[in-house]
Each structure stands twice: as structure tokens, then as C-alpha cells.
Amino acid sequence: MATKKLAAKKTVAGKAVANSGTTTKQPILVGILTGSPNDLPTVVKVRDTLTELGIASEIVVASAHRTPDKVTAYIERAHREGVQVLIGCAGMAAHLAGVIAGHTRLPVIGLPLSGGVVSGLDALLSTVQMPPGVPVATVAVDGSKNAAMLAARILALKYPAINQALENAASKERARYEQNADDALAKLSGH
């Protein structure tokens, strides 16, 4: 069965450093695997944040439990095609990121997802409690944005354009935060 994937559009990084600002097809730098199509509303936010930073990514629905061969086939393809960071997203008994980390030397980020009877605590512990030597850099439950930002920070070590995109995003975020603080304080004092 063909691997279902959603490629991000309008990306400008990667080789992209050279043709920043274009919509030319760029190499995929981040592979985002998720355990179920039901995870996609949360997982798509990872891709959206990467796209905002000009980083090409793709989403693949594959499960270490349900479709283990598809997971390993994707990792092999990712190695061949030069993907540089992998993100494993899963809820409940979330073994996906750990299994990915067992099959690659690429950095692996784990995104535990909420749902189930304990609201993501199960997924958090399953993702973060890896045996020594097989690291998964685990972000918060449903922490889609930070999963993307961490991938970007890893890539920024190699790609100056991504480093710049992160700098720009941080200044924008600071300005937004300061404006919100000013607005809230003004409201409090009745101005």
C-alpha cells in the first residue's frame, strides 16, 4: 500500500537557503510520523509551524503497532532522501517515537498526544522514558509548536536561513507578548 503523506507547500528553506522566498519544490528536511489519522488535527500544526519557518516537511500516517513495516520503510526512505530530523507523534501507548529512534541515528523528537483515559500522561511517559542510548527529545503533551521549533533549532545549526527565520519569529513573538501585556495593563487601569 502506498504511504499516505501530505507534503508541506510554499517552503523556502533546506536547499532553500539558496532560493529563499520562492515556492520551488524544496527537499524535505523533517519527517513527521503519526500513529493515527485521528491525530492529524494536532499534528498538522507541527507542519504549519515548520512551513512558517520556511522548512519543508511531510506527514506520514504510520503506526509502530498497526503498520510496523510502513514505519521502517519510511525511515529507510527518509535516510535515502536526506531527511534530517524525524518527529514521532502518538497518543496512548505511544511507542512510535521510540521505535523510530531504534531505527535511525537521526535526531528524533517525540510529540505525545492527549486523548484516552489519562489525557496524554500515558503517551508522555511512553515517549519520554527511553532506555539509555536511545534518546527521544520529548516535548509537552500536544506541544505541536515546540516539536516544530525544536526541529528548527536542530536544523539551524546547519542552515543559516533557518537560524534567521527563528530569530525573526522570536522578535515577532516578543513584540506580540509586550503588546498583549501593555493592552492588559491598560485595560486594568481603565485606559
The site for ligand C2R (CB under 6 A) is made up of 35-36, 38-39, 63-66, 90-96, 113, 115
Q: Of 26 and 34, which CB lies nearer to ligand C2R in the complex structure?
A: 34
- CB atoms inside a 10 Å sphere around CB 174: 10
- Residue 13 C-beta: closest distance to ligand C2R, Å: 28
Q: What is the CA radius of gyration of the chain?
A: 18
- Residue 95 C-beta: closest distance to ligand C2R, Å: 4
Q: Of 36 and 51, which CB lies nearer to ligand C2R in the complex structure?
A: 36
- Residue 103 C-beta: closest distance to ligand C2R, Å: 13
- Residue 100 C-beta: closest distance to ligand C2R, Å: 9
Residue spans of beta strands (DSSP E) within the chain: 5-7, 30-34, 57-61, 85-91, 108-113, 137-138
Q: Of 118 and 186, which CB lies nearer to ligand C2R in the complex structure?
A: 118
CB distance 114 to 90 below 8 Å: no
